[in-house]
Structure 1
């Protein structure tokens, strides 16, 4: 054999070329296997939920994803599209199916895409996840490598911040409304006091007119004093220095006092005012914070009369086990059901048809609630818009022994 002949050399070159091609193919296969092995390791060992999407459907998922979704087998998830394990709409109001298709298109366009998503697990619980979509090639076919990161804590924190912001804004709004209301409430009795005081200076006033002017001044002064008292009480309530001081209080005397205060006002309004003392001992003496109890009953009766244009207002008490239960019934405008939970909040009033018709600072019931609870009782309201309101509160049955 001629080792230098052209035919021999060409044969050697051809053999070497074939060997090189075979080696290259082998290396490529090993490379592919290595990449697939790396993919499998990342896919199966990842602590994050990882899923594979092909043609818009899930074709595989790791153990973390299976556990996260609450399913037992992969077959329960594979074949589904992302929208089938999502609520109908996302938090931004977009349809889940339409948005999922758009997110996949963006991943294919740019190679990867990141966004937040809301899924539903097997039990119907909401799952907030941060989604990462990456286009990969497996065995010559395009797949979307999907990684989820649980962000429920983040979403809950965001919701708490949102609620805190809304609460702060509502508090600011209520305080602004309160300041506007309180300035009006103070100005009204002050103007009356100043006006009638000036009228008293006239030399030609009759004794009856003088008595009437003095009466107006007294009533306006009492109204002003009540407003100032309420402001001081709310300040004490907010600072935690709200105190209770017990003393003796005759219930009949209290009822008579409240009746005399409001009798004239109710007769002018065509409202019948009635006292209903259901206790066996009508002249019972309670050991209680008399000032707080008197003010609480005054505030509630005052509210009932204020919001009752015609009909009746009845107040009284009865024995309720270890408590004395006070009640105030009226046939007034009532309170909307959705507003009942708010009537005891500071600066809040019931939702009347026209609040401008009714004066008040919105402090009375919040102070009444604090007073009753600090005395060891409770307070609640039953009402229906257009049909009237009933307010109940209790204090311990602690009486003076004869």
Structure 2
């Protein structure tokens, strides 16, 4: 019996040492992965100072800076996600979600990337828009599927990629199928294990931290589901995400794809937008974005929550508020509660660098009408303006 215990201790020690070694390699890789896009951002930013730079080169450098920024955001998101999962800080935020719309959004994003890779991407919608409205955590589901599609494009040089869903026994099976490099049978379960050699080896040749599949698995489990893979080396892989089917009956639901998504509807009367933001750079960015929408918008600036409340009291012409949630003197949550007491119909949209589901819940509980995560894209802000200002105006 003592011999067995000693053997178990030796095995446990070896596993702990292997895990520590893999974590050390992960930290070293993380440093490399962060510095790579930073080099692109800082390096090419310097070139933009050249007064003799041609327009073509300027556009080329700006494109590199934007791509590097997006790459850096994905890395930071993965690091934060792992940290939250390890400390059990992740919560579900379930909402009505049109699965067809979500898949169409993903298709529009990844079809561009697939075409760059010269790989056809196909979408197979299982049900009508009305039948595809479910209750789930849209953000987590989007992250899972984005990771699977990203991987499919990375590892598929010839053939095609297809994704879609079907409903079986009160469960939704969403699949991502590719004709890429495939995975050896004995390694298929290990790719979902955080810091495993197999997970790490998958990311080695194409870059990245190699955390995506372990994050996807843990998020799928949080949704009450699973993620599995069927694969053959050299022939391709099919990943299947299975989640509970919680339908929402909507007789008059309109698909977002019918609503000119990402476009400002039309130029109407003059609107006044209050931007509550303590960081000057963030305010200038939002002000510039709103100016580019070619609407007759007037912007006001509040540098903290207290000032935002006072401005809303004094100025009844304010039609819309972009509220930063982390500000000095008074935060956005408190400011929103106070404003809603005397302007209950005033649309207030939370804008925050936090992406946690419980942060959204807290914003909605405070009275916010919507939520937008930083960094804010032009298309997302246009949708928000359309939804809460233009179409209601």
Please, what TM-score do these two structures have when normalized by structure 2?
0.59
Whole-angstrom CA distance in 2 between matches of 1:168 and 1:248: 43
Give the length in aligned residue pairs.
250
The structure whose residues are more often strand, as a share, is 1
Aligned to 1:369: 217
- Describe how 1:321-336 pairs up with structure 2 within 5 A: 321-336=169-184
Identify which of 318, 325, 329 aligns with 2:166: 318
For 1:379, the equivalent position in structure 2 comes to 227
CA-to-partner distance for each residue in 1:96-145, whole Å, 9 max, x for gaps?
xxxxxxxxxxxxxxxxxxxxxxxxxxxxxxxxxxxxxxxxxxxxxxxxxx
Whole-angstrom distance in 2 between the partners of 1:355 and 1:245: 30
Matches of residues 124-273 of structure 1 in structure 2 within 5 Å?
Answer: 153-273=1-121
Change (3 A) 1:342 1:278: same
The answer on whether the counterparts of 2:199 and 2:210 sit within 8 Å (CA) in structure 1 is no
d(CA) in 1 for partners of 2:169 and 2:154? 32
Which one has a bigger Cα radius of gyration? Answer: 1
SS at match of 2:167: strand
Structure 1 unaligned blocks of 5 or more: 1-152
Q: Deviations over 1:305-357 (max 9, x none)?
A: 11112221111111122111110011111111221121111123647988642
Partner of 2:247: 399
Give, in whole Å, the separation in 2 of the partners of 1:317 and 1:181: 35
> Partners of 1:349 and 1:249 in 2: how far apart?
36
Give the drift of 1:366. Answer: 0.7
User: How far apart in 1 are the matches of 2:130 and 2:36?
Assistant: 38
Per-residue CA deviations over 1:6-46 (Å, capped at 9, x if unaligned) read xxxxxxxxxxxxxxxxxxxxxxxxxxxxxxxxxxxxxxxxx
Provide closer, same or farther for how the CA distance between residues 314 and 247 of structure 1 changes in structure 2, counting only shifts above 3 A.
same
Is this contact kept in 2: 1:317–1:324, CA < 8 A?
Answer: yes
What is the TM-score with the length of structure 1 in the denominator? 0.58
SS in 1 for 2:62: helix
- Say what the alpha-carbon RMSD is for the aligned residues: 2.3
Judged with a 3 Å threshold, the aligned counterparts in structure 2 of structure 1 residues 348 and 282 are, in CA distance, closer, same or farther, namely farther
Q: Quick one: structure 1 residues 208 and 286, their matched pair in 2 at CA, closer, same or farther if it must change by over 3 Å?
A: farther
Task: Please give the residue correspondences for 1:10-49 in structure 2 after superposition, counting only pairs within 5 Å.
Answer: none
Whether the aligned pair in 2 keeps the contact of 1:230 and 1:363 (CA below 8 Å) is yes
Determine the C-alpha separation between the residues in 1 that align with 2:81 and 2:234: 31
8 Å CA contact retained: 1:348, 1:363? no
Q: Alignment partner of 1:393: what SS?
A: strand
Closer/same/farther in 2, CA of residues 350 and 259 from structure 1, 3 Å limit: farther
